[in-house]
Amino acid sequence: MSTRAFRSGADRSLTLRVEHCPLTSKLLDSGESSYGQSGRLIFGDVMRLLISQCCLLMSEPLLAPTFLFRFSAPCRSAKDLWPNGGLQLGEKHRLPSFGELEGRPLFADVRGAWSPRGFSFWVQVTGKRQMPWCRDSRLDESDGLSVWIDTRNTQNIHRASRFCHRFVFLPSGGGRRMEEAVAAALPINRAKEHPKPAPADSLRVRSQQRVGGYVLEAHIAAAALTGFDPAEHPRIGFAYAAIDRELGWQTFTVGPEFPFVEDPSLWGELELTP
């Protein structure tokens, strides 16, 4: 597997890991010669080049182009992961959705931050005409944010280890009137081992309903993450899915047509940076 780094327009380094494949290697080489000798390409441009060329060669592609790559993005740190006044995560904390490169719609602004105390995520969903559909008794079917984390970034396993976690956060669906936000840890299907149970106070969530959508804030404390050690393991396996019955799925890497919900080899990677 070879690694090439491209600089995004937001001045963030996104790492594109390309399997040794004659097609992708040839396309990358031709792309570099076309865009200049510096070897520094705009990430979106090189991906669109690869995808457009794949489409020319295959009138009916058998695989989504994002399936050919393993993606890595930076996750920036934050001092306070759960401030009383709400999360304040700027553009540098924005997490990409590489499904955009396949033309999949974007309806969620997803941002994330880390510290030795854990992770926090901020999500704004827009473009809705209906209220979110959420039930704390049907977490898998509800609208909201799902996050998958492998604290050891194993990458080459198809069944989850004890270092692999799934967390679900819903903007509503809890309480007697089903108006309270919900946070839960879920087991990963077909896992070889499961992580330690998350302590009761290790997951937090809050939300605000907005016209056309909602804002969701979620926190995962380090105590809920088996094997979390950012000093020794500054790269983690990672995937997210903003799920909406009305708008569809927005994901970090591959879409729901692939079994990434239970297969860590299909997850991407977050690099924990200052």
Domains of the chain from N-terminus onward: 2-62 (no CATH), 74-273 (2.60.40.1190)
Please give the pLDDT value at position 12: 43
Confidence at residue 37, expressed as pLDDT on a 0 to 100 scale: 36
Residue 6 in contact with residue 18, Cβ under 8 Å? no
DSSP result, 85-138:
T-----GGGBPP-GGGGGT----EEEEEEEETTEEEEEEEE---SS-----TT-
pLDDT of residue 71: 85
Q: Which of 227, 237, 232 is nearest to 73 (CA)?
A: 237
Does the pTM exceed 0.75? yes
267 and 69 in contact (C-beta within 8 Å)? no
Which residue, among 167, 166, 164, 168, has the nearest Cα to 150 in the 3D structure?
164
pLDDT of residue 77: 98
Looking at residue 251, its pLDDT comes to 96
Residue 99 has a pLDDT of: 82
pLDDT, position 65: 62
pLDDT along the chain (274 residues), means of 10: 44 44 46 37 50 51 64 95 96 92 89 98 98 97 98 95 98 97 98 96 97 98 98 97 97 93 96 96
